[in-house]
């Protein structure tokens, strides 16, 4: 492989002295769960996002699930989600026994289409969960206006977009709350699983703190039936090293994305990402589309270029949701995306010479299709 899809070693090599020092500090502390590292990271990440509160949890899925639980959403309720997203968004709703109500994405941005939301709202709708997919913010101004009109909560799925902006404001502080993932491949990635919730709602934050820790504020005194979902001290210590570099690393991603956009402009058959003028994406992924996607991917593999498909099976057609009765054709925009999208290598440690290899390989592959 000349150009792998992801580089997990580059971040460590760039920050090795700081990361090693943070690890040693954590190891010598003798306190490994819900200690000062997590408390400090929560404050720092809340400040970064522009939120008042942050609660560290085990992963991004649990960030969304515990938020829904804290809002009291459950059986008999409905939550609007995008048709085109990683299945974790849907699973968070299903874990509460609420009903998933998928709404199609915009065919150009791949994010939840605000124009279609109101038709999906019923008396049982309690929340909207937009996803800032591929690192590009959803149209939050429009979504928040709809939510205000109907008295709904808005929970951002910000797993892929730490640092992105919508009309100048960072994602993670645009809705009533937001769930974040620190999975290693994310823009702000830990060295294992991790997640967080950000919000300005002090009551919500307090409820999630209790839910994440067995339903307890004080050890052995359990107020409710809670969960074990805590961002551990080691991941918090390491994330604190990475957080100050996030904007710089996002800017590097944007530089590669702009290079791709310029080089691929006019390439026949290749559909490029569309960025609205109010959006500042952080390019978690650089996703193109081609009608002969599988052959296209094979040509790139033969040229030594690593790629991935995000996501090959739309959630409504997965075996996990076969009992819901959706069939092919139920959500055609999401289905078309699943059949045609391909993610090219991008990241803060992708070298320009490697990006050039990607461009050459893409142009060469498209000519043969």
- What pLDDT digit, counting tens, does each position of 21-57 carry? 999 999 999 999 999 999 999 999 999 999 999 999 9
Residue 308: burial class (beta carbons within 10 Å; 0-12, 13-18, 19+): middle
Alpha carbon distances (Å) from 30 to 177, 220, 234: 33, 21, 11
Buried b (16+ CB within 10 A) or exposed e, 312-321: eebbbbeeeb
What pLDDT is attached to residue 68? 98
What pLDDT is attached to residue 341? 98
Nearest to 267 by CA among 141, 163, 359: 359
Report d(CA 27, CA 7) in Å as an integer: 26
Q: Give residue for tokens 């065919």.
A: 107
Q: In angstroms, how far is the first alpha carbon of the chain from the final one?
A: 22
What pLDDT is attached to residue 186? 98
What pLDDT is attached to residue 219? 92
Q: Give residue for tokens 């067995």.
A: 214
What pLDDT is attached to residue 312? 97
Residues of the chain with pLDDT under 70: none
Q: Coil, strand or helix: which one is 100? A: strand
Q: Give residue for tokens 């909207």.
A: 128
Tens digit of each residue's pLDDT (9 = 90 or more) over 140-181: 999 999 999 999 999 999 999 999 999 999 999 999 999 999
How much is the pTM?
0.97
Report d(CA 89, CA 130) in Å as an integer: 9
């Amino acid at each position: 492989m000349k150009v792998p899809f992801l580089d997990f070693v580059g971040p460590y090599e760039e920050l090795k002295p700081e990361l090693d020092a943070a690890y040693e500090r954590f190891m010598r502390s003798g306190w490994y769960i819900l200690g000062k590292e997590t408390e400090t990271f929560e404050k720092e990440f809340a400040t970064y996002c522009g939120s008042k509160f942050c609660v560290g949890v085990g992963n991004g899925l649990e960030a969304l699930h515990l938020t829904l639980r804290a809002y009291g959403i459950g059986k008999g309720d409905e939550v609007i989600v995008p048709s085109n997203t990683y299945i974790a968004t849907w699973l968070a709703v299903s874990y509460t026994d609420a009903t998933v109500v998928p709404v199609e994405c915009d065919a150009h941005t791949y994010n939840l289409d605000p124009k279609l939301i109101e038709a999906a709202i019923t008396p049982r709708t309690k929340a909207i969960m937009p996803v800032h997919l591929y690192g590009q913010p959803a149209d939050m101004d429009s979504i928040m206006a709809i939510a205000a009109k109907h008295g709904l909560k808005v929970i951002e799925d910000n797993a892929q977009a730490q640092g992105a902006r919508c009309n100048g404001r960072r994602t993670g502080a645009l809705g009533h709350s937001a769930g974040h993932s620190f999975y290693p491949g994310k823009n702000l990635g830990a060295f294992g699983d991790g997640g967080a919730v950000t919000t300005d709602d002090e009551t919500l934050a307090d409820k999630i703190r209790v839910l994440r820790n067995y339903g307890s504020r004080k050890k052995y005194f359990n107020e409710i039936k809670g969960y074990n979902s805590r961002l551990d001290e080691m991941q918090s210590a390491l994330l604190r090293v990475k957080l100050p570099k996030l904007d710089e690393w996002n800017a590097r991603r944007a530089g590669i994305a702009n290079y791709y956009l310029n080089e691929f402009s006019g390439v026949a058959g290749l559909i490029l990402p569309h960025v609205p003028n109010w959006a500042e994406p952080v390019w978690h992924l650089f996703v193109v589309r081609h009608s002969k996607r599988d052959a296209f991917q094979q040509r790139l593999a033969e040229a030594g270029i690593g790629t991935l498909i995000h996501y090959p099976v739309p959630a409504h057609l997965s075996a996990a949701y076969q009992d819901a009765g959706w069939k092919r054709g139920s959500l055609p925009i999401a289905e078309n995306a699943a059949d045609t999208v391909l993610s090219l290598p991008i990241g803060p440690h992708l070298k320009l010479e490697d990006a050039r290899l990607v461009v050459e390989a893409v142009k060469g592959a498209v000519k043969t299709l």
